[in-house]
Amino acid sequence: MTATPAPDYLARLNAEQRAAVETLDGPLLVLAGAGTGKTRVLTTRFAHLLMTGRAQPHQVLAVTFTNKAAREMRERVGAILGRPVEGLWLGTFHALAARMLRRHAELAGLRPDFTILDPDDQARLLKQVMEAEGVDLKRWPVNGLMGIIQRWKDRGLPPGRIPAAESSDYANHRAEALYAAYQARLAALNAADFGDLLLHMTEILRGDAEVLARYHRLFRYILVDEYQDTNLVQYLWLRLLAQGHRNICCVGDDDQSIYSWRGAEIENILRFEKDFPGARIVRLESNYRSTRPILAAASGLIARNEGRLGKTLRPGRGDAEGEKIRVVSLWDSEEEARMVGARIEAARREGQDLGEIAILVRAGFQTRSFEERLIALGIPYRVFGGAKFYERLEIRDAVAYFRAMMNPADDLAFERIVNVPKRGLGETALAALHRAAREQGVPLRLAAQGLLQSEALRPKPRAALRELLEGLERWRAGLDGEGHVVVAQQVLEESGYTEMWKQDRSPEAAGRLDNLKELLRAMAEFGSMAAFLEHIALVMENDEAAEGARVSLMTLHAAKGLEFDMVFLPGWEEGLFPSQRSLDEGGAKALEEERRLAYVGITRARRRCIISHAANRRIYGNWTSTIPSRFLDELPPEEVVREGEAPAPHLPHSVFGGGPLIASRRPRVIEAGPWEVAERPARAAPFAVGQRVFHQKFGYGRITAIEEDRLDIAFEKGDPKRVLDRFVEPA
């Protein structure tokens, strides 16, 4: 019997993958580890459906995790077909739901041209609703309610259908009523927030058999990537749509579930078989992405998690043996950035394509030191899923304050900050300001000075303006006496800018505060405010250059599904990764999610994976001696080469016993003069245990332990502390 040769695109699959592509009828779950070709299967299946005539392009619904992934899938399907494909239902949950909802807006009480509100608008609207309902906003911050509503929407719960178990005691049990009022306001404004897109659509599909039947007829096949990170409402939407033909194919990996904080529910994977009886489950076990040591390291790490479905993963690449994972210990984050920069330089000299290099960080603020280093080396880069450090909103605001302080003629800067935070300088006041400046032909700030002498402004805005102008003068004068970093901190605090973000309960606020601290930290490396501002101006200009391949910087969360030849994973320190938040929550669950994130990070690498940690990090203005991430200890030692002496004590886990690992592992704070410029301290300490000493800030005490240049001291006043020896003298 002679079989007809398989088409080219099928020949590029292994047997299991091929089964997953060719099993076209009925529900199918592909459950497999990183890099086993899940996304390739989905893309090929899409093309196969079209090639075999099983479906027209518009009859397939395909869900990807990001818009970028959707673009790639469209291109790959087009490449397999040999022609561009149009009219696809291919995109993220949000994009697909929005498109559907426009067709049925009236069923959700909207018109087809409804507006989609961004989180800012959402918060503003919610605030109005709360004010109208007489809620005490000081006690009950807007973002608290926003989070609750988001959670309800993620769980597919409209107002009036919140079960007791999901209710909230927020604002004395008024959250549900406020939710209802908010939804009514949205309808009146012909608007929807992001959460509404899926919520409205599931409600419509549930409530209107005719509409549901239409979609059942339309979508013969449904494809879902990154299924492990779907939340309940996404799941409900999928299940409703899939009940027609039941041709739904989901691919996912429970070990890569990293969005539980956005309501993702791993249980959706487990539920699949129950909801779709007779579902086929295909497992893929060959990893085609990474070399054996990278895989072994990732597998060894993730094996520490308990709540796993369990999967086999073996190297499928021809050239599977390769470099071991590097774990590099550095002194501080600057040295870490230098190490990464130097290795990228070296790789570039060896001909490594820069587009195949990524630096994946746990927290957004970490990108700053790498960005600076890459700029200094002239290596082009881009930041995915977020702005470059100096382009971030809060950084631009802060820098505008500094520019306005330094240069009274800098109108752009002044205008940016004049009413940020809100100080009652509304449109009228600003218009008066601009008019005066124009008429007199002077900068805004000078015109403002003049306005203070007149009656042009009402008393309240006038007082606010006076305070700002006086502040700018005072801070500027402060520069002559105090260090520029101290002044910068004053600017941000006294202007109310930091406070504004502290009051803000949105999920981004904490990251913004971290970025502001990182900004001050960066500033400490420059001799003066002027030098720093010049540096920033140059950094921003540098931006415009460089086309072509670039190094990618992004968070681990944004890196899901991607792959690179060379991957840097910096900042593996307790409190940073795993994050302090996951440690504070204390539960094993949060920690397991961090570990999955580490697994996602390592498995992005094809050939080289360089993990690093710094022994010292300046956090919240103080030098902090860090403890290497527990994840480093969990990597199988035989797959890892350690480089650089471990400058910090590296205590084995057993020291901390088996219980909650938290309290004793917290980084201890090393006090240094605030914002002092980093300088590598001499290591030989002329001190002895038991010696009485004097510390510049904490006074007298006795040394209880010495580790290199760090001293543990029992102070005569206050708690014992760990300090750097250069701030200590023999008493």
Residue 14 binding target from ligand ATP, Mg ion, none, CB below 5 to 8 Å by type = ligand ATP
Query: Which two structure tokens, joined as six digits, stand for 577?
Result: 């990764």
Instruction: Note if 256 is an active site residue.
Output: yes
Active-site annotation holder among 17, 36, 39, 228 = 39
Q: Using CB under 6 A, which of the segments 29-37, 178-186, 614-622, 633-641 binds ligand ATP? A: 29-37
Active-site annotation holder among 17, 256, 352, 367 = 256
Helices (H), 365-458: 367-377, 393-406, 411-417, 427-440, 444-453
Q: Is 40 in the site for ligand ATP (CB under 6 A)?
A: yes
Q: Using CB under 5 A, which of the segments 31-39, 233-241, 389-397, 618-626 binds Mg ion? A: 31-39
Q: Is 579 in the site for ligand ATP (CB under 6 A)?
A: no
Q: Is 17 in the site for ligand ATP (CB under 6 A)?
A: yes
Give the Cα separation of 103 and 351 in Å (integer): 51
Q: Which residues, listed in sequence order, are joined to residue 728 by a DSSP beta bridge?
A: 695
Binding residues for ligand ATP, total number by CB under 6 A: 19
Q: With contact defined as beta carbons under 8 Å apart, do 699 and 717 qualify? A: yes
Give the Cα separation of 722 and 704 in Å (integer): 10
- Work out which of 37, 141, 315, 571 binds ligand ATP, going by CB under 6 A: 37
Instruction: Note if 202 is an active site residue.
Output: no
Taking residues 509 to 548 in sequence order and writing x for each that binds ligand ATP by CB under 6 A, - otherwise, the string is ----------------------------------------
CB of 354 to Mg ion, least distance (A): 23
Q: Using CB under 5 A, which of the segments 131-139, 560-568, 624-632, 712-720 binds Mg ion? A: 560-568
- Cβ proximity to ligand ATP, 225 vs 504, nearer residue: 225
Instruction: Note if 43 is an active site residue.
Output: no
- Work out which of 20, 27, 31, 39 binds ligand ATP, going by CB under 6 A: 39
- Report the candidate in 107, 113, 111, 114 with the shortest Cα–Cα distance to residue 212: 107
CB of 224 to Mg ion, least distance (A): 11
Q: Using CB under 5 A, which of the segments 16-24, 30-38, 253-261, 611-619 binds Mg ion? A: 30-38
- Work out which of 38, 76, 362, 368 binds ligand ATP, going by CB under 6 A: 38
- Three-state DSSP at 24 gives coil
- Report the candidate in 614, 642, 637, 636 with the shortest Cα–Cα distance to residue 627: 614
What are the helix and strand counts (H, E) for the chain?
29, 24
Identity at 721, one-letter amino acid code: K
CB of 299 to ligand ATP, least distance (A): 13
Q: What is the DSSP letter of 307?
A: S
Residues 601-640 that bind ligand ATP (CB under 6 A): 603
Residue 36 binding target from Mg ion, ligand ATP, none, CB below 5 to 8 Å by type = ligand ATP
Instruction: Note if 185 is an active site residue.
Output: no
CB of 606 to ligand ATP, least distance (A): 8
Query: Which two structure tokens, joined as six digits, stand for 653?
Result: 């886990």
Identity at 112, one-letter amino acid code: P
Q: Using CB under 5 A, which of the segments 35-43, 437-445, 577-585, 716-724 binds Mg ion? A: 35-43
- Cβ proximity to ligand ATP, 288 vs 675, nearer residue: 288
- Three-state DSSP at 606 gives strand
Taking residues 243 to 262 in sequence order and writing x for each that binds ligand ATP by CB under 6 A, - otherwise, the string is ----------x--x------
Active-site annotation holder among 45, 604, 607, 617 = 604
CB of 226 to Mg ion, least distance (A): 7
The torsion angle over the Cα atoms of residues 571, 572, 576 and 577, rounded to 10 degrees, is 140
Alpha-carbon distances, residue 305 vs 149, 185, 308, 591 (angstroms): 31, 45, 7, 9
Q: Beta-carbon neighbour count of residue 177 at 10 Å?
A: 12
Q: With contact defined as beta carbons under 8 Å apart, do 43 and 12 qualify? A: no
Strands ordered across the beta sheet of 248-252: 89-91, 60-63, 221-224, 248-252, 28-32, 280-284
The DSSP string of 143-209 is: HHHHHHHHHHHHTT--TT---GGG---HHHHTHHHHHHHHHHHHHHTTEEEHHHHHHHHHHHHHH-H
Angle between helices 484-494 and 393-406 (to 10 degrees): 110
The torsion angle over the Cα atoms of residues 475, 479, 482 and 487, rounded to 10 degrees, is 40
- Cβ proximity to Mg ion, 38 vs 245, nearer residue: 38
Q: What angle do CA 538, 542, 548 make, to 5 degrees?
A: 175
Identity at 515, one-letter amino acid code: N
CB of 38 to Mg ion, least distance (A): 5
Identity at 706, one-letter amino acid code: I
Active-site annotation holder among 16, 17, 36, 38 = 38
Give the Cα separation of 480 and 488 in Å (integer): 13
Query: Which two structure tokens, joined as six digits, stand for 181?
Result: 């009022």
- Cβ proximity to Mg ion, 226 vs 518, nearer residue: 226
Residue 410 has phi, psi (to 5 degrees) of -80, 85
Q: Using CB under 6 A, which of the segments 7-15, 103-111, 304-312, 418-426 binds ligand ATP? A: 7-15
Active-site annotation holder among 154, 196, 225, 592 = 225
Residue 17 binding target from ligand ATP, Mg ion, none, CB below 5 to 8 Å by type = ligand ATP
Q: Which residue has the tokens 């101006």?
A: 537
CB of 250 to ligand ATP, least distance (A): 12
- Work out which of 195, 293, 408, 561 binds Mg ion, going by CB under 5 A: 561
CB of 561 to ligand ATP, least distance (A): 4
- Report the candidate in 457, 462, 459 with the shortest Cα–Cα distance to residue 432: 457
CB of 260 to ligand ATP, least distance (A): 17
Q: Using CB under 5 A, which of the segments 36-44, 608-616, 646-654, 702-710 binds Mg ion? A: 36-44
Give the Cα separation of 214 and 691 in Å (integer): 83
- Cβ proximity to ligand ATP, 206 vs 314, nearer residue: 314
Give the Cα separation of 633 and 654 in Å (integer): 11
Residue 34 binding target from ligand ATP, Mg ion, none, CB below 5 to 8 Å by type = ligand ATP
Instruction: Note if 514 is an active site residue.
Output: no
Q: With contact defined as beta carbons under 8 Å apart, do 196 and 186 qualify? A: yes
Residue 114 has phi, psi (to 5 degrees) of -55, 150
- Report the candidate in 708, 688, 705, 699 with the shortest Cα–Cα distance to residue 728: 699
- Cβ proximity to ligand ATP, 253 vs 254, nearer residue: 253
Instruction: Note if 371 is an active site residue.
Output: no
Q: Is 45 in the site for ligand ATP (CB under 6 A)?
A: no
Q: Using CB under 6 A, which of the segments 28-36, 50-58, 371-379, 580-588 binds ligand ATP? A: 28-36
- Look at strands 191-193 and 115-117 and give their pairing: parallel
- Work out which of 13, 28, 32, 39 binds Mg ion, going by CB under 5 A: 39
Identity at 291, one-letter amino acid code: T
Q: Is 66 in the site for ligand ATP (CB under 6 A)?
A: no
- Cβ proximity to ligand ATP, 288 vs 577, nearer residue: 288
Taking residues 469 to 508 in sequence order and writing x for each that binds ligand ATP by CB under 6 A, - otherwise, the string is ----------------------------------------
Q: Beta-carbon neighbour count of residue 191 at 10 Å?
A: 17
- Please list, residue by residue across 74-88, b when 16 or more beta carbons sit within 10 angstroms of its beta carbon and e when fewer do: bebbeebeeeebeeb
CB of 312 to ligand ATP, least distance (A): 14
Taking residues 275 to 314 in sequence order and writing x for each that binds ligand ATP by CB under 6 A, - otherwise, the string is -------------xx-------------------------
- Work out which of 27, 35, 141, 322 binds ligand ATP, going by CB under 6 A: 35
- Point out the residues that are catalytic: 38-39, 225-226, 256, 604
* Residues of the shown chain interacting with Mg ion in the complex, contacts defined by CB under 5 A: 38-39, 561
* Residues of the shown chain interacting with ligand ATP in the complex, contacts defined by CB under 6 A: 12-14, 17, 32, 34-40, 253, 256, 288-289, 561, 563, 603
